[in-house]
Chains A and B, each alone.
Chain A
Amino acid sequence: MSSLSTEVFAPSMLRRGATRTAGTIAADLVFSALLFVGTLVGVIALATLIWSIFDAGWARLAADPIAFLTGFVSRFPARAGIKVPLVGSAYLMVLTALFSFPIGVGAAIYLEEFAPRNRVTNFVEANIANLAGVPSVVYGLLGLGIFARFLRMGPSLLAGALTLAVMSLPVIIVAARESIRAVPESIRLGAYALGATKWQTVRRQVLPAALPGTLTGTILALSRAIGETAPLLVIGLPIVIFSLPNDLRDPVSALPLLIFDWTSRAQAAYAEAAAAASIVLLALLLAMNAVAIFLRSRYTIRW
């Protein structure tokens, strides 16, 4: 009883928690320090990565950015430029978006608005979830087997874009479904009450409301696709070419492929060039992410 009364009448102890021993307090401190340090390691790793890339490549890029961005791949790494793979990546990105966005949004609309609750729907949903986890190199084998070889596209712009589109599809479907689901039921019921048909409701009410979220998800999926190397490597896209594609069936190169090629060469000048090209790629991806975040914060409707 006496110990209880001292605790009750000692407000300073109450504030710190009456049952805490010195050991508990020490353990609490150690634990929060551990959490903080553990979290910090990831942040430091990211900072170190970006610093080391800039450290290795900034001088090369800043010396003559125009020449680097518009020059052609060369046998002499100190003179090499990234024009063809950079523009190739842009071509691939636009085509990938053209293929994957309509199909992904179409599938998402069907699954959210029209699909009956049955075994086919369940199977399609489970299948999409599994596709999202398939390694990108396996998508490369799909592209090699089906697009490049079976459909005789060869290592072309078309085969590359189709492969990246198939890879991005599950991600886009998931993002589009989430934003369609976020549109409240009252919007749909309101449209029905005004005599709209189901498709009219989806087309004129649900889709516009779900667009910002869908676009954000699509841009993030595309920025992942554009940083991918393995699928393009597997379907056999060339690294060193000197002309831009004029046709869907022409070969195309991509920035990550070039970075990979330069990284795997021994000379220091190649490492510098690889780091400089990595800076360009990171800047591109960061810009895409910024657009996605902007769209999300500016246009997303809070219901």
Chain B
Amino acid sequence: MVATPPELSVTRRKARTGERLIVNALFTCAVLSIAVTVGIIAVLLFDAVEFFRESSFFDFLTGTVWAPGQGAGVGGRYGVLPLLNGTLLIGLGSLVVGLPLGVLTAIYLSEYASNRIRGVLKPTLEILAGIPTVVVGFFALQFITPSLLRPIFGEERVFIFNAAAGSIAVGLMILPIIASISEDAMRAVPSSLREAAFGLGSTKRQVSVRVVVPAALSGIAASVILGLSRAVGETMAVTIAAGNSPKMTLNFFESIQTLTASIAQTVRGEAAAGTVRYNSLFALGMALFLITLGMNLLSARIVRRFRQVYS
């Protein structure tokens, strides 16, 4: 992509054989990434097909009960809707936390903060983004539920494992993602737009709300979708804090189970290879892969469109 050597010399030698070998090796490295994708799809498809041979595809998509069989040869019921319900609750709940905080942080960082404050805040957000999910889960279970949710909403209403704690935990995890991508989008807004608004007598708030945010809206939307995709794929915090009871509910104070938590629970139970329950892992993995892939593609498409505006 960067410049090739200038073609100006008559004595320029042809690329050496050794050099060609090296380029081939580098090419192999790059193509290996395609092998990874192929591997993911093949693995998921292979065992998901096994799963749907024994358990109906229609029941999987429309069933409202997820009750895997315990032993070999035991049927069980495999309806994915309760798990989607749990994932949806965590997705929405984490957006309630992460979206406003993330966007406010982004506006603050991009429009208001001095360089010194930025220099402190950005690494702080990076640290927050880097905390292992299992530690955030521990925090949710040991602090958010007993010391925050239960005192406010009451012991008897809030279960020990609940979707709200999981949502807050995941919301804190996606906050840095939303904040940093939104901030990038806001900083990409040309300063001439801001100056024009200031010249017309706008205050800083009016410039931020009426010029910068609308101009960066597609970038903000992309960051939110990406954050949502992370929330859907998050495993440990929801397994630890939100519980393992697949159910159809909209009550954030109840114990639920997400797609990812169900995978974690199944592998912990050491389901023997080849059983329906084991194969169900890959059907769930496929659902998860497709949902997150769809959101990531959507986010990338929005970003591409947004880039065309100012460059």
Contact = CB atoms under 8 A, between A and B. Distances in A.
A215 B185 CA distance: 26
B100 interface: yes
A135 B288 contact: yes
Interface in A208-243: 220, 223-224, 227-230, 233-234, 236
Dominant secondary structure at the A interface: helix
Interface string B110-150: 00100000000101111110111111111101110001000
Interface string A99-134: 000111011011111110100000110111111011
Nearest to B141: A263
B30 A138 contact: no
Size category of the A interface is: 35 or more
A63 interface: no
Given A136-B235, A233-B264, A278-B135, A20 B281 contact: no
B202 to A, nearest CB: 9
Size category of the B interface is: 35 or more
B100 A38 contact: yes
A189 B260 CA distance: 50
Given A35-B107, A228-B132, A127 B34 contact: yes
A70 interface: no
Nearest to A196: B5
A107 to B, nearest CB: 4
Interface in A32-60: 32, 34-39, 41-43, 45-46, 48-49, 52-53, 56
Given A138-B233, A199-B23, A256 B134 contact: yes
B61 interface: no
B264 A234 contact: yes
Interface in B136-171: 136-139, 141-143, 147
Contacts of A46: 124, 127-128, 131, 172
B176 to A, nearest CB: 8
B3 A169 contact: no
A8 interface: no
A103 to B, nearest CB: 5
Interface in B283-308: 285, 288-289, 292-293, 295-297, 300
A115 B30 contact: yes
A300 interface: no
Contact of B23 (A52, A110, A124, A131): A110
Interface string A182-206: 0001001100100001110100000
B71 interface: no
Contacts of A260: 134, 137, 236, 239-240
B104 A38 contact: yes
A42 B32 contact: no
Given A27-B205, A138-B288, A49 B1 contact: no
Interface stretch (B42-50, B51-59, B73-81): B42-50
Contacts of B204: 28, 32
B309 interface: no
B26 A282 contact: no
A97 to B, nearest CB: 15
Interface string B214-254: 00000000000010011011111001100000000000000
Contact of A103 (B32, B136, B281): B32
B267 interface: yes
Given A35-B108, A138-B233, A49 B136 contact: yes
A80 interface: no
A159 interface: no
A124 B235 contact: no
A227 to B, nearest CB: 3
A2 interface: no
A224 to B, nearest CB: 7
Interface stretch (B14-22, B62-70, B88-96, B187-195): B14-22
A228 B136 CA distance: 12
B31 interface: yes
Given A185-B2, A188-B2, A131 B132 contact: no
A19 interface: yes
Contacts of B268: 233
A145 interface: yes
Contacts of A275: 138, 142
B4 interface: yes
A49 B139 contact: yes
A236 B133 CA distance: 18
Nearest to B46: A145
Given A109-B26, A197-B19, 5 more contacts: A38-B104, A53-B135, A134-B293, A145-B46, A263-B134
The 3 tightest CB contacts between A and B, nearest first, are A135-B233, A38-B104, A227-B132
